[in-house]
Every structure is written in structure tokens, then in C-alpha cells.
Structure 1
């Protein structure tokens, strides 16, 4: 039997609250809040593949103030001891480097660790933007889509 299981309701509520704080701190450029939310070991992989450690991510947020809004889709939360893995859709509305705005969406994987103080902190983050699905759907995915369409 695996030690990984779906988050219970209490843990799910805690993780949703931490994620809401993360999103708001990015929008507000609240470096102190982000410093508290991110573990010192953080590895943050932005959608275009740029990799930041905690110090560089905090500098990135402070210097660029890119985030205007963000929202999440349904989240899958799994827990193994003091580690949580959260996956799901994220949409960011951001300032564009040359002016104006851009919106970027894609699935995200986040790993959090609950420290000795009981607080959940992000240790890993990766967003993969939606792009071309060159392989298309698997036969089983096509069957499921056809079945749903026939309802």
C-alpha cells in the first residue's frame, strides 16, 4: 500500500489557504509574505523554462511586478507525511515585458513541505504552458470524450 493518499479535508483547506496567500502575495509584490511561503530550498521553474532559486524568485517578483491576477482550476492534492503534491490548472494575467498584458495558462505541479512549526512552504513549483498537442489524444481518451459527447 502506498504512503501517498488524497489530502483530507483539513489538509486540503490548509493548502488552499497557502495557495491563496501565494497568489495574493505575487499580485501585491509582497516579498515578506513570499519569503515566509517559500522554503529556502525552493526550485521555481517558470513557464518558459527559466529556473530560479528562492533569492532569484524574490528578486524577480520585486523587480518585475509582473503578476496582475491569477486563478486556479480544480486541484488534485496528494499527501505523504509532511509532503504535499498539488497539481492543477493555473492562469496568470501578467504585464508583458514590452508593455501591455499577456495571459498564460497551463498545468502546474507544486510540492510543499510542512515544517516543524506546522506551516506549509513551497519547495518546488513548475508550470508547463499549454502548447501544441502533437501526439493528440490516446485511444482511451478519445473513447472517454466520445462517451461524454453522447450523453
Structure 2
């Protein structure tokens, strides 16, 4: 299960960079609560709209992922580094964050139900 969730997270990151909204939608739970490192909070429809119209990711990387399984729920933690541009103006965005994710196994598939990012110093990435 741990390897499957880490692979699913890698697919989610690749979909973010590719702008693949259907791929992202497929891994998000209907009850999603997504908290960006800026404090912006989205549910699933709001996040998909944000990804479609407000940001374009050039890179999304993960490091040090640890999965804490408990039955049909798993908590994933680790670092995330991203780079992109805000739309429509093209303002550069880059950050490193510590991320906690809540994954739930429902209807035969793992879905991302909770996401909380907290900015950390970029030097944390190299450790």
C-alpha cells in the first residue's frame, strides 16, 4: 500500500505539471479540503478551477515521503518543492513546503481527502 500511495502521489504531481485536470480530478476525494502554503483553502471544485485558471506548474517535486497507514486511511508526510506561474499575469511562484496528506480508500480506490502545506526554508530540501 505504501508504494502504491507514493506512486499515486507521483502521478498527481506529474498531472499538475502537465495541466491534466482529469488526471488530478481522478485522485481527489469529493470531500477534499486542500490548504495551500499561503493559507488559501479550497474544496475539490474550487481547487480544480484554481488549477485551470490561476496557476501553471512547471515543476512539482516530492522528497522524504513517509506513509502512515491505518486501515482504509493513510497519512502521508514529506517535503514538496514547486515552481510555476500565476495566471494570467505570469508572476513567478516558487516554494518549498512540508506537506501532510490524508488519503482514504473508498469505492476500491485511494483518494486524496486532505492536504495541508506549510512553507519551510528552501534549505530544508537539501537535508
**TM-score, normalising length from structure 1?**
0.75
Larger mean CA deviation between 90-99 and 73-82 belongs to 90-99
Aligned equivalent of 2:97, options 74, 88, 106: 106
Corresponding residue for residue 124 of structure 2: none
Judge conservation of contact 1:92–1:105 (CA < 8 Å) in 2.
Answer: yes
C-alpha separation between the residues in 2 aligned to 1:58 and 1:100?
20
The residue correspondences of 1:111-126 to structure 2 (distance < 5 A) are 111-117=102-108, 119-126=109-116
Judge conservation of contact 2:16–2:60 (CA < 8 Å) in 1.
Answer: no
Segments of 5+ residues of structure 2 without an aligned counterpart are 122-127
- Paired residue total: 120
Normalized per residue, the structure richer in strand is 2
- Select the structure with the greater relative contact order (CA < 8 A; seq sep ≥ 6): 2
**TM-score, normalising length from structure 2?**
0.88
Q: 1:96 Cα deviation (Å)? A: 4.1
Larger Rg over CA atoms: 1
C-alpha separation between the residues in 2 aligned to 1:100 and 1:116?
40
Matched, 1:47 2:37: yes
Judge conservation of contact 1:27–1:65 (CA < 8 Å) in 2.
Answer: no
Matched, 1:26 2:26: no
Matched, 1:76 2:66: yes
Displacement over 2 Å in runs of 4+: 96-102
Segments of 5+ residues of structure 1 without an aligned counterpart are 1-10, 132-151
C-alpha separation between the residues in 1 aligned to 2:3 and 2:39?
30
